[in-house]
Chains A and B, each alone.
Chain A
Amino acid sequence: MTTLVFSEEVDGHASASALELTTKAAGLGEVVVFHVGPGAADAIEALGAHGAATVHHLDPGDGLPAPIAAAAIADLVSSDPPPVILFGMGNTDRDVAGRLSARLGSPVLAAATDFSIDPVRVTSEILGGSQQVITEATVPSPALVVARPKAFVAEPGDGGAPEVIAVEPPDVGRSGSAVVVERHVEEGEGPDLEAANVVVSGGRGIGDAESWHLIEELAAELGGAVGATRAVVDAGWVPYSLQVGQTGKTVKPAVYLAAGISGAMQHLVGMKDSTTIIAINKDPDAAIFGIADLGVVGDVHQVVPRLIEALKSRS
């Protein structure tokens, strides 16, 4: 049975979720990928190596991709619909999934951590990962499954170069009138958040943007990556690429150190599978202490500088 996987090109590469989902789908049968972006050779090769037999490639140019990608996918699946179309949690993934579901009348099954295609059955984590629900699709149209990051492991196999089919951007009328006029890349420093062995994350409890350097210094001392809660990203202290949680990155490092983070459900779901969790928070009732291996009730402005000093004196 064929599975369709959505892929967005990010900075010249296939997205991490596209490679995870392609690997998973390859274990279930034939994989067709719908790839949106300039079409870098590295992205196409990686999709093939992870198991894609065919890649339909749409270059949206300066158009906002979702309306044209949704129309093109709807066209692609009209004659022989696959049981599921897989998406990651990326912003363009969610834009395309939403528009496509309205076009096809298909349900969106979100926050998936596992699924089967015959029958279409999806396991999703809800309520901050405290419970999981099993949902079955009850309509014949393809179910759109939006999977959580790292629910599946990306493994390059011996798949060769896929067949690439160029997709002409369909005319979608006024839905397609949004254009991208500037692109900004915000480079993070230090190790990659999603791959790091140690992650030091800060929340609102850090107090203000001026104190954020404490998190950066501690991360640097530990050779770790910097993460943040949504509140900190929304406050503009750090870019979105550092957000850990439901609508950001999912991390599973050896050590996750949470400073000034209360532990909202939406944050916990992105880091609860870390091997060891250390939390510092002045509120003894903070939810983060419920899952921390070591919880320190104290002021981050006291504890973190002492920790940095002690680490420095070791080296």
Chain B
Amino acid sequence: MKIAVCVKQIPDPATPYELDPETHFVVRPEDQVLDDTDRYGVEIGLQLADANEGSVTLFSMSPSGSLQGIRQALAMGADKAVLIDDEALQGSAALTTARVLAAAIEREGFDLVIAGTESTDGYTGVVPQQIAEILDVPSLTFAKRVEVSDGQVEIDRQTEAGYDVVRSPLPVVLAVTSGSVEPRYPTFKGIMEAKKKPIDTLTAAELGFEPDDVGTGGSGQSITGVEPIASRQAGEVIEDDGEAHLRIIGLLEESKVI
């Protein structure tokens, strides 16, 4: 079974994000990390590969910077990575990202595509569904439990009212929630092996995209302004001395909720 896992390298979420004043895009430092939400997709991919004699290939559109995040996923156990690295892709919107990833995945062949539900830095949250539509396969999204057997996938899909059990024959695109599994930590051996694993690099042109189809020009949208939103002011912060609950009660009374 050929398993494709989409991953994204993002600026460390523990650091404040900045916008480039010219382009209005998030400034991407040289060192980026694996989006934490992608660790769950990688883990599910590895478990399914183990159970179904499969292989796990990572796919990432990563315009620049180090490969630290990709290496992290390889160190968990993925077999190889395909990186689409092209300056022309800078400023690409979600749909372009999906088209580029789908083209790269189709080129390699696939039985199952796995992605996170949304990235931590962009959270448009529609790329898995777009990939599924382009590849003409079902999209099993918001999965909090995944099982694959006999060419069938079954998931528990979060809904507004609770959850649905959804079943489909392969191939499908699967979008998993954080918490669907417990991701493994890379071992020392895994980290050493990851340094030798193949990372194929493709350009947008090699996948058949014209420069005008991708990047800012192909996004179908343009950012015309950015403004700060007036943030609320921090109030008083007190140390609990055993009486802090009384201060809370005071504020609850003031707010007329008790």
Give chain A's interface residues, CB within 8 Å of chain B: 8, 10-11, 15, 64, 66-67, 70, 90-92, 94-95, 97-99, 101-103, 105-111, 121, 125, 127, 129-139, 141, 143, 146, 173-186, 197-198, 222, 224, 230-231, 233-236, 239-241, 246-247, 254-255, 257, 264-266, 272, 275-278, 280, 284, 289-299, 302-303, 306-307, 310-311, 314
Contact = CB atoms under 8 A, between A and B. Distances in A.
A146 B123 CA distance: 12
B168 interface: yes
A135 B221 contact: yes
A99 B237 contact: no
Given A105-B220, A107-B219, A296-B244, A94 B257 contact: no
Contacts of A311: 249, 258
Given A107-B219, A131-B229, A294 B239 contact: no
A169 to B, nearest CB: 15
B118 A247 contact: yes
Contact of A275 (B222, B245, B247, B255): B255
B104 to A, nearest CB: 16
B198 interface: no
B187 interface: no
Contact of A186 (B162, B229, B240): B162
A239 B144 CA distance: 11
Contacts of A303: 240, 244-245, 248
A176 B224 CA distance: 38
Q: Which 8 A-B pairs have the closest CB atoms?
A: A234-B179, A298-B240, A98-B129, A98-B126, A178-B168, A102-B133, A107-B220, A186-B162
11 contacts: A125-B229, A132-B226, A141-B220, A181-B167, A186-B162, A197-B257, A255-B257, A293-B235, A294-B236, A295-B234, A297-B239
Interface in B114-158: 117-118, 120, 123-130, 132-134, 136-142, 144, 154, 157-158
Contacts of B226: 131-134
B237 A136 contact: no
B94 to A, nearest CB: 6
Nearest to A187: B162
A66 B142 CA distance: 13
Given A130-B231, A133-B24, A198 B133 contact: no
A8 B160 contact: yes
Chain A contact residues: over half helix, strand or loop, or mixed?
mixed
B202 interface: no
A186 B159 CA distance: 10
Contacts of B235: 292-295
Interface of B: 13, 17, 19, 24, 93-95, 98-99, 117-118, 120, 123-130, 132-134, 136-142, 144, 154, 157-169, 172, 177-180, 219-229, 231-232, 234-240, 242, 244-249, 251-252, 255-258
Contacts of A239: 162-163
Contacts of A280: 240, 244, 248
Most chain A Cβ neighbours within 10 Å, of B95, B126, B178, B238: B126
Given A175-B136, A235-B179, A180 B164 contact: yes
Given A94-B125, A110-B124, A132-B226, A64 B166 contact: yes
A8 B161 CA distance: 12
Contacts of A299: 240
A307 B253 CA distance: 13
Given A94-B125, A293-B251, A236 B179 contact: yes
Contacts of A146: 124-126
A250 B226 CA distance: 23
Contact of B161 (A94, A241, A290): A241
Nearest to A232: B179
Given A99-B133, A102-B129, A291-B231, 4 more contacts: A92-B159, A254-B256, A294-B235, A310-B246
Contacts of B169: 177
B164 A182 contact: yes
